[in-house]
Structure 1
Amino acid sequence: MNRRELLTRLPMGIGVAALSHLFGAETKKGIPGLPGLPHFAAKAKRVILLHQSGGPSQMDLFDYKPGMKKYQGVDLPNSVRNGQRITGMTSGQATFPVASSMFQFQQYGQTGTWVSELLPHTAKIVDELALIKTVHTEAINHDPAITFFQSGSQQPGRPSIGAWVSYGLGSENENLPAFVVMVSQAHAINTDQPLFSRLWGSGFLPSNYQGVKFRASADPVLYLSDPKGITKQNRRSMLDAIGKLNEMKFQQVGDPEIETRITQYEMAYRMQTSVPELVDLSKEPESTFEMYGPESKKPGSYARNCLLARRLAERGVRFIQLYHRGWDQHNDLPRDLALQCRGTDQPTAALVADLKQRGLLEDTLVVWGGEFGRTVYCQGRLSESNYGRDHHPRNFCMWMAGGGVKAGARVGETDDFSYNIVQDPVHVHDMQATILRCLGIDHKKLTYQFQGRHFRLTDVHGELVEPVLS
């Protein structure tokens, strides 16, 4: 046997083992992850990541700054801004007038947490939340900032956090993907920021770890239904024939992506039964729709996706990601932020409450937040009833709830302008490391060798946010 033949045939044992699992009569529930994982006893079995795309305004929602009112309209002192990087949208402004929040705040729960009047439903569950006021990032524009949070790098091409989790831990349900993504948007608000599929991609990991996006209309997944005239028996026979051809090709070249192709064909076949049952809400009681709000019956809405996230969690899907667009309020913030909260506040709180009443919250980690925050100074002209805010990566608010998290924990403080961190900074890599820790993963040990280097989600950074861990 020459060198080429040896290298070609080496992966064969792995391939035959995979094929025998897929085509054998006996199947197991779930798909295993890497040997030795989790590294620790996991507090959470799954994650629901509620990404609020656009950058929610922290000082209008959670970071209460009543002292700003006395500076209303006053130019933000240079000692506060301190020459920090700003976007091209406000860099040409002659002045940077302070725009205090026009919304009322009140303390809620046993923790006495200040919450904006825009979030009355979240206020009811505030004691379940670990609130972090001092998350900060390195990117100042949307795409690199979202890419950074999702993949640990501002440059596209790295695996997403959901792909890392799927790669490391596998799946609890072999009839559904380990990583599912849903996207919604506020129709009455400017939602011009794109969300690219690479945000839930697998990067250099094998492609079977990428997220599967569920659509709002027709089949939730493309080609879920068989074409007219094709029976289940026809479909099974076709897949068996394709599987044999792929097996022959794998024996010739040993390409691991052939294994991925075989696996995904089989997953697609099983999803033809599992997905229609998942998205059929006809058996949900009316009280559930009342809990999640009036839009929960509307396909593609954030409320509907929150309800589907609970159903996915019940079925053991490992990583569930909801993206909701519309938080980029450069102008008309009082109107648009109120509309955005009206569409997201109730279903978000309902999801946490629903998981808790079903006994799922104790092993499900829920994370809420955007890619950065907003500036205290006004973008453009400031009026008595209207203002806008620019991007602000220096500090923003996120919260976590459920498995592995200490309910009621409060982390970090910002200055009087919600502009700089004065206590307990939390970097994006720290958030990523903490999410993995709740799942029982040491972020320094979950690696993948690519182009001669061992990569990880947190690159060479990341510290646990210890105060939020239970």
Structure 2
Amino acid sequence: MHLSDNLETLGNRRRFLTNAGMGLGTAAMASLLGQPRLATAATANSTANVPPGCHFAPKAKRVIFLFMAGAPSQIDLFDPKPGLKKQFNKPLPPSVSMGQRVTAMTKGKEQLIMPSPFKFSRKGESGLWMSELLPHLSTQVDKLCFIDSMNTDAINHDPGKTSFCTGSEIPGKPSMGAWLSYGLGSLNKDLPDYVVMPSAYWSGKVNVQALYARLWGSGFLPSKHQGTSFQTTGDPVLFLSNPTGVDAGIRRRMLDSLGQLNQKHFAEIGDPEIETTIAQQEMAFRMQTSVPELTDISDETQETLAMYGPEVSNPGSYARNCLLARRMAERDVRFIQLFHRGWDHHTRLPINLRGQCQDVDQPTTALLRDLEQHGLLDDTLVVFAGEFGRTVYCQGELDPETYGRDHHPRCFTALLAGGGVKGGMRHGVTDDFSYNVVSDGVHVRDLHATMLHLLGVDHKRLTFPFQGLDQKLTGVEPSRVVKEIIA
């Protein structure tokens, strides 16, 4: 019997089970208390340059977030402190550390200063300092905004990543990409609003920590806003291919029948998650065509592939993911997030940091150039950051070849480009030890507020009612838009 011939029987069975478990009342209450709401958004704004969901005209349409999981060392890459050469092997002055919290790995141990062994030089017309470890990215400094005064409350990786991705150290909150999907809606009906691409890692990588789906989850927002994770092997998206013996025609008929059943159920109880299910099933069907076309890079020129470097030929590599990010930007995916792990350098930092930089230097540079060549950089905000920075003092042996650095939330560097951000500038100043912010500090919440602002959203007005509060990505703590970096 065809599924559509039996909808009434199936509906009666589902209704009985729902009512028997008091699910009807629960669903009704959820629909009353949890309806999506973009507070005072300009969804009905008739001004031509204010898109639906925006509070004002945006400078960026989309975001590519390059997340360096594990925390790159700002003092070895972006924030040079040449005066530290005279401080080698000396204890960090108490007037600098001020009794601030440290991790259990260095608590109670002598904090001996280790200056960076890497050379810095001025690059570009702006003359910004860059490390020798990033020769390709150094050619792009005039496009980059360096926020050297980034800071966060988290001192360990899990809360640090969670805070950077969701605005809160407490797990379970919606990710930034989910907030944008909820607030601004979709730009492309054939691909998800929010795509996540973790890099594959090869043997030899050390201290590679796990990633967890809640970093791109929807939290208390409707589940349709969660990120879609692309896989490093096999189908780009899980269960994208039809099972053996099921062709596209059969799949279409199955979805039509299932959609009728779900629509009937929605009319009875009004649970918004039913509509989410219908929409996601239809999206999955369209993705069976759109995703293979997206991930097929055979139409890219040899010049483009060479620009991203030799690893672009390896599915799941950071280089391949950077190229796919540009292809997604072309297709108007709203939020594209790459995760590249392996930056947690407690030991052997000089060796391991070189390897990490080799992974990301050329592909990141190629992404910026490629976006610009395709006319996409002006309205694509690119962010490059980790969850915190690294300490000026040494961890492990005080040896220029084997030293490591501990976690440091007090100051670190984030790079921004495109999307209405000024290029060729530094914002914020740190002390002579790259330990404390001296001026123009930027908390992670401030970065989130600024990113939303560039997308045309007032962070104070993008809200969702949950647990008696109008929840926001930036939470209830003070936060500000860093207007100094906006072009």
**How much is the aligned-residue C-alpha RMSD, in angstroms?**
1.8
Name the CA distance, whole Å, in 2 between partners of 1:462 and 1:382: 39
How many angstroms apart in 2 are the aligned matches of 1:104 and 1:137? 28
Q: TM-score, normalised by structure 2?
A: 0.89
What are the superposed Cα offsets for residues 221-253 of structure 1, whole Å, 9 maximum, x if unpaired?
Answer: 111111111111100000011111111211222
Matches within 5 A, 1:309-388: 309-388=325-404
Deviation at 1:445, TM superposition (A): 0.5
- Does the CA contact (< 8 Å) of 1:214 and 1:221 recur in 2? yes
TM-score normalised by length of structure 1: 0.92
Q: Indicate the residue corresponding to 1:431 in structure 2.
A: 447
**What CA deviation, in whole Å up to 9, does each residue of 1:98-142 have, x standing for no partner?**
010010110001111000000001100000011110000000000
Does 1:50 find its partner at 2:52?
Answer: no
Q: Secondary structure at the match of 1:144?
A: helix
What CA distance in whole angstroms lies between the structure 2 residues aligned with 1:124 and 1:316? 27
Q: Specify the SS of the correspondent of 1:50.
A: strand
By how many angstroms is 1:412 displaced? 0.7
Q: Which residue of 1 aligns with 2:482?
A: 465
- 2:268 maps to 1:252: yes
2:332 & 2:181 partners in 1: Cα distance?
12
Whole-Å separation in 1 of the counterparts to 2:146 and 2:51? 34
Would you say the 8 A contact 1:302–1:344 is kept in 2?
yes
Provide the residue aligned with 2:145 in structure 1: 130
1:24: which partner in 2? none
Corresponding residue for residue 228 of structure 2: 212
8 A contact 2:52–2:184 mirrored in 1: no
**Which residue is 2:183 aligned to?**
168
Residue in structure 2 matching 1:182, options 197, 200, 205: 197
Query: Does the 8 A contact of 1:164 with 1:457 survive in 2?
Result: yes
Partner of residue 233 from structure 1, selected from 246, 249, 259: 249
Residue 87 (structure 1) aligned with residue 106 (structure 2):
no
C-alpha contact (below 8 Å) 2:117/2:400 kept by paired residues: no
Q: Which amino acid aligns with 2:464?
A: Y
- Map residues 5-84 of structure 1 onto 2, 5 A cutoff: 37-84=53-100
Q: Which amino acid aligns with 1:445?
A: R
Does residue 275 (structure 1) correspond to residue 291 (structure 2)? The answer is yes
* 8 Å contact from structure 1 (residues 131, 410) kept in 2: yes
1:8 shift after superposition: 5.5
Is the contact between residue 9 and residue 251 of structure 1 (CA under 8 Å) also seen in structure 2? no
Q: Is 1:396 matched up with 2:407? A: no
Query: What residue in structure 1 maps to residue 172 of structure 2?
Result: 157
The answer to whether the aligner puts 1:140 opposite 2:169 as a matched pair is: no
Per-residue deviation at 1:59? 0.6
Moved more, 191-200 or 110-119: 191-200
- Shift in Å at residue 386 of structure 1? 2.4
Alignment of 1:308 with 2:308, yes or no, is no
CA contact (8 A) 1:90 1:380 kept: no
Percent of pairs with identical residues: 57
Q: What are the Cα deviations for residues 411-457 of structure 1, in whole angstroms up to 9, with x where unaligned?
A: 01111110011111101000000000110000000000012210000
The 4+ residue runs of structure 1 with deviation greater than 3 A are: 7-12
SS in 2 for 1:134: strand
With over 3 angstroms needed to count, the CA separation of the structure-2 counterparts of 1:251 and 1:384, relative to structure 1, is closer
Q: Offset at 1:11?
A: 7.4
Aligned to 1:414: 430
| Equivalent-residue separation in structure 1 for 2:156 and 2:466 (angstroms) | 28
Cα distance between partner residues in 2 of 1:384 and 1:162? 40
* SS state at 1:227 partner: coil
1: CA distance, partners of 2:85 / 2:402: 15
* Residue 131 (structure 2) pairs with residue 120 (structure 1): no
Tell me the equivalent position of 2:15.
Answer: none
Structure 1 stretch displaced more, 57-66 or 250-259: 250-259
Kindly indicate whether the alpha-carbon contact (under 8 Å) linking 2:120 and 2:130 is maintained by their aligned counterparts in 1.
yes
Paired with 1:89 and 1:168, the residues of 2 have a C-alpha distance of: 41
328-337 vs 213-222, which deviates more? 213-222
Shift of 1:192: 3.1
- Does structure 1 retain, via aligned residues, the 8 Å contact 2:351–2:401? no
Q: Using the alignment, how far apart are the partners of 1:115 and 1:53 within structure 2?
A: 21
SS in 1 for 2:163: helix
Residues 380-411 of structure 1: CA deviation (Å, up to 9, x unaligned)? 22124321000000000001100111112320
Do the aligned residues in 2 keep the contact of 1:9 with 1:253 (CA within 8 Å)?
Answer: no
**Structure 2: unaligned runs, 5 residues or longer:** 1-23, 36-49
Cα-to-partner distance string for 1:341-382 (whole Å, 9 max, x where unaligned): 001010001101110111100110000010000000001221
In the alignment, the residues of structure 2 paired with residue 249 and residue 37 of structure 1 have an alpha-carbon distance, to the nearest angstrom, of: 29
Query: What SS class does the counterpart of residue 415 from structure 2 fall into?
Result: strand
**Distance in 2 between the 1:450 and 1:97 partners?**
47
Task: Give the distance between the partners of 2:401 and 2:262, measured in 1 at CA.
Answer: 64
- Residue identity opposite 1:465 in structure 2: V
Residues paired across the two proteins, number: 445
C-alpha distance in 1 between matches for 2:480 and 2:30: 39
For residue 35 of structure 1, report the CA deviation from its aligned partner: 9.1
1:91/1:234 Cα in 2 relative to 1: closer, same or farther (>3 Å)?
same
SS at match of 1:442: coil
CA spacing shift, 1:9–1:115, aligned 2, 3 Å: closer
C-alpha distance in structure 1 between counterparts of 2:30 and 2:382, whole Å: 42
What CA deviation, in whole Å up to 9, does each residue of 1:268-316 have, x standing for no partner? Answer: 0000000000000111111111100110110010000000000000000
